[in-house]
Amino acid sequence: MASHNLARSCRKVVCIGRNYADHIKELNNVRPKKPFFFLKPSSSILTPDQGPVLRPKGTNLHYEVELALIMGHNLVDHPEADAQGAIDSIAGYAIAIDMTARNMQEEAKKKGIPWTAAKGFDTFLPISHYIPKSDIPDPHDVELWLTVNGEERQRDSTALMLFRIPRILSEISRVMKLEEGDIVLTGTPKGVGPVQVGDVMRAGVRVGQKELKEGDIEVG
């Protein structure tokens, strides 16, 4: 599946917040007792051929590399104990950058209002091509990485997730049904930071000793 098809078939993008301990520390956030999540609009998806990420005026724009799950069938009220069922509901994967207007998000947090605008600008979700499920035998054992202008900023294993995928999918599906084509972002490891106009981000995923070509993102 090309990623413009990903974009077309996606109705919602559900994103887990604070799922890596060292990332929680770097933003001085509180570690959640259970997973919490927010929505990015499908209109924020930026496929590989669509050009650069917008830099809205007055925003402090941060990258967050994440492993994305592409849902293969509906999931409703899924019990956490059925880990295999959760994994079976995934059709495939992608790498995504959860672009965030950090200053707007901090202001929203202080005011107790939604993060929607801070997370939802057009182009705020660069996504790679579709990664076939068979290319990632264990989604809790891949390495995510991101560079800015060739300098490494993020590189960590998905083994560090605080809440693993069956728990994440269970918690979401007990609130809102997950539908075929929906995208779930699983959280970002440490190393998030700002990008300026002209900076080039690259991101990807390594499985064992191998870089997965389909997971590559290069975006201005």
Name the site residues for its own copies (rule: CB under 8 A). Answer: 11-12, 14, 17, 30, 32, 36-39, 41-44, 56, 76, 108-117, 120-122, 175-177, 179
Contacts of residue 137, defined as CB under 8 A and 6 or more positions apart, other chains included, come to 207
Q: What is the DSSP letter of 43?
A: G
Q: Which is nearer to its own copies, 29 or 149 (CB)?
A: 29
Q: Pick from 3, 12, 59, 89 the residue near Mg ion by CB under 5 A.
A: 12
Measure Cα distances from 186 to 7, 109, 111, 177 in Å: 18, 20, 25, 17
Q: Is 64 in the site for Mg ion (CB under 5 A)?
A: yes
Minimum distance between the CB of residue 79 and Mg ion, rounded to whole angstroms?
A: 25
Secondary-structure breakdown of the chain: helix, strand, coil percentages, each rounded to the nearest 5: 25, 30, 45
Q: Is 156 in the site for Mg ion (CB under 5 A)?
A: no
**What is the C-alpha separation between 159 and 163, in angstroms, rounded?**
10
Q: Which is nearer to its own copies, 175 or 200 (CB)?
A: 175
Q: Which is nearer to Mg ion, 12 or 129 (CB)?
A: 12
Minimum distance between the CB of residue 96 and its own copies, rounded to whole angstroms?
A: 17
Nearest CA to 97 out of 44, 18, 35 is that of 44
Q: Which residue is nearest to Mg ion (CB)?
A: 98
109 touches, from its own copies, Mg ion, none (C-beta below 5 to 8 Å by class): its own copies
Q: Which is nearer to Mg ion, 9 or 82 (CB)?
A: 9
Contacts of residue 100, defined as CB under 8 A and 6 or more positions apart, other chains included, come to 61, 62, 64, 118, 119, 124, 192
98 touches, from Mg ion, its own copies, none (C-beta below 5 to 8 Å by class): Mg ion
x-marked contacts with Mg ion along 131-150 as a string, rule CB under 5 A: --------------------
Instruction: Compute the residue count for the chain.
Output: 220
Q: Pick from 20, 53, 98, 145 the residue near Mg ion by CB under 5 A.
A: 98
Nearest CA to 148 out of 60, 217, 212, 210 is that of 217
Instruction: Please provide the distance, in angstroms rounded to a whole number, between the alpha carbons at the two ends of the chain.
Output: 23
| Residues at the interface with Mg ion (CB under 5 A) | 12, 64, 98, 188
